[in-house]
Structure 1
Amino acid sequence: MTIDKLIDLAENLTPIEQNIAQYILKNRNEVVNYSIQELSAKLFVSKSSILRFCKKLGFHGFNDFKVQLAKESILKDVKVESFNVNYPFEVLDAPKEIADNLLKLYEVAIKDTFMCIDYEKLDEISKILNHCQIIDIYTHAHNSNIAQNFKDKMLTIGKKVNCIENFYDQRLNALASDSSHVAVILSYSGKASWILTILKKLKEKNVPVILIGKLGSNLYPGLVSYHLGISNLESLRNRISQFSSHTALQYMMDVLYSCIYNLDYNKNTKYIKNSIEYMDDRNL
């Protein structure tokens, strides 16, 4: 449901909250870039008034509200109404139409994920992963490809990552973990049946947990240390394939790797250059 409709359906908005709503609807593009302090100063209202307004619309806070506001702008810009994210092509579509629709879908998924990023949290997570001794990625099915890709990238700068896919191995690994480990869980929905069992054991072992999944997928906030949200446009079941969620998750993992790389840019670049001849023995 769009913000416009949420405002229309909202009950008992105070005169102050109605003024907040009117200002936001008229100044969407500017509000997306405001902090709550800046919006408060613009409207001469308290931050608590803005927070109450956001919560009446069903959002946890102002940042969640801004994510939705930005998403609606993005989808409007790329004319998302021209295709279905879950069924991006139809039976009579020609190859060019299919290619064009997937191009639009990837653009939407990446832009939507971009707007979900909490940059302070991203920076903190990057530093934690950069300095920890052991990174364990817990995931399954198609997300294993993204985990393996991240592992390969990290190895190119000399950092080891464990990709644990088998449910039995996941439990063994969690059991053997300690505070020198950092766990990364990749799950679009956050509802995979194996997650809670692993989270409980990691909590017991004092292992920080980073969950990367769609907005709203952190179902166990008491057991998850950090949550990086990605686009939540895709249906969990009613779809042709995981086009959108795969693209969004791959983008987020690439961003995360790049932030880690950038923390020691010169050192990592030197490492890559020094290893080229050993890793690539082609006669080019």
Structure 2
Amino acid sequence: MLLREKMETEHFSSSEKAIVDYILKEGTNIQNKTVKEIAKATYTVPSTLIRVSKKLNYNGWNDLKEDFTRECEYLESHFLNIDANLPFKNNDTIMSIAGKIATLKKESIEDTLSLITHDDLQKAIQIIKKASCIHLFAVSNNLLITQEFKHNMARIRKDVRIHGLQNEVIFDATLANPDSCALIVSYSGETYVLDNIIKVLKNKNIPVIVITSIGDNTLSRKAECVLRICTREKLYSKIATFSTDSAITYLLDVLYSCIFALDYDRNLNLKIETSKSIETGRFSTVDILKEEEF
């Protein structure tokens, strides 16, 4: 749940509600406002602002202000001219549709990049690096997206096991080795079966990386490391999961590339030599596709 959604649904007293309404109206303008200034503008007292912060599970006003401002800046950036849920209309030409889908995918990747922090990415890389095996859990369409990640990682001898067989995923989580790690992909972060899986993994002290949307959700609260993706789509009211798919694919590509880079020369030589021996029959008459002899 987004912070602004919490602020709109939480029960507040009349004086607290005055402050919340003011914050929601001002948006990023609250960044440079002090407790006294907000209290004066809302005809309340500074202690009321502290109570609002506590109700929203913050230690104080500065922590609340920082998160709220960051969320506002994210929601106001990118996607200014395109709707992730309905990126094209029924009267668009085929070339207009082609252009809008391209824009949507580019925006989704840039949006996801803006959510990546160095520390979170570094933590995920170190977890994967140390693990003997990466157990990957997802459902529905997200499960299909992860296949390319498994394929790429296998080419550099990193074992990724995708678990998607219905009624077997909890069993698989229970059997996971202590020196492995888990990667869970969930846009909402509230999928029932994935919540059960993360409970099992936590009980076994297996580190969990979660790829999910922004805001507070069940899976992100329980994970050792959280990587956020572009959060612009509704759960159901959309043409397709264009934006989410692009964001997840991009983030998995980033993880693979960072693991690859840990031993760049060895992995590159391994990839090239393996491909050369397997794909001996491939050729092209187009110069740009032709391989150079090393």
Structure-1-length-normalised TM-score? 0.76
Distance, in Å, in 1 between the alignment partners of 2:219 and 2:78 is 29
* 1:127 Cα deviation from its structure 2 partner: 2.0
Which residue matches 1:186? 185
Q: Do 1:189 and 1:217's aligned partners in 2 also have CA atoms closer than 8 Å?
A: no
* 1:166 Cα deviation from its structure 2 partner: 1.5
Alignment of 1:214-229 (within 5 A): 214-216=213-215, 218-221=217-220, 223-229=222-228
Q: Do 2:31 and 2:69's aligned partners in 1 also have CA atoms closer than 8 Å?
A: no
Which residue matches 2:57? none
Distance change in 2, residues 1:166/1:279 (3 Å): same
Distance, in Å, in 2 between the alignment partners of 1:85 and 1:265 is 36
Distance, in Å, in 2 between the alignment partners of 1:208 and 1:134 is 11
- Is 2:268 the counterpart of 1:250? no
Distance, in Å, in 2 between the alignment partners of 1:70 and 1:13 is 14
Which residue matches 1:232? 231
Distance change in 2, residues 1:107/1:279 (3 Å): same
* 1:216 Cα deviation from its structure 2 partner: 2.0
Q: Do 1:234 and 1:244's aligned partners in 2 also have CA atoms closer than 8 Å?
A: yes
For 1:172, what is the secondary structure of its paired residue? helix
Which residue matches 1:135? 134
Distance change in 2, residues 1:221/1:147 (3 Å): closer
- Please identify, of 172-181 and 220-229, the stretch whose mean Cα deviation from structure 2 is larger: 220-229
* 1:116 Cα deviation from its structure 2 partner: 0.5
Distance change in 2, residues 1:218/1:227 (3 Å): farther
For structure 2, which runs of at least 5 residues remain unmatched after alignment? 5-21, 39-59, 284-294
Q: Do 1:150 and 1:253's aligned partners in 2 also have CA atoms closer than 8 Å?
A: yes
Distance, in Å, in 1 between the alignment partners of 2:73 and 2:27 is 17
- Is 2:104 the counterpart of 1:100? no
For structure 1, which runs of at least 5 residues remain unmatched after alignment? 21-50
Structure-2-length-normalised TM-score? 0.74
Quote the RMSD (CA, aligned, Å): 2.7
Distance, in Å, in 2 between the alignment partners of 1:201 and 1:280 is 41
Alignment of 1:1-284 (within 5 A): 6=24, 8=26, 16=34, 52-53=61-62, 55-56=64-65, 61-62=66-67, 65-66=69-70, 68-75=72-79, 80-81=80-81, 83-216=82-215, 218-221=217-220, 223-284=222-283
Q: Do 1:150 and 1:257's aligned partners in 2 also have CA atoms closer than 8 Å?
A: yes
Distance, in Å, in 2 between the alignment partners of 1:133 and 1:14 is 48
Residue type at the aligned position of 1:52: W
Distance, in Å, in 2 between the alignment partners of 1:257 and 1:141 is 22
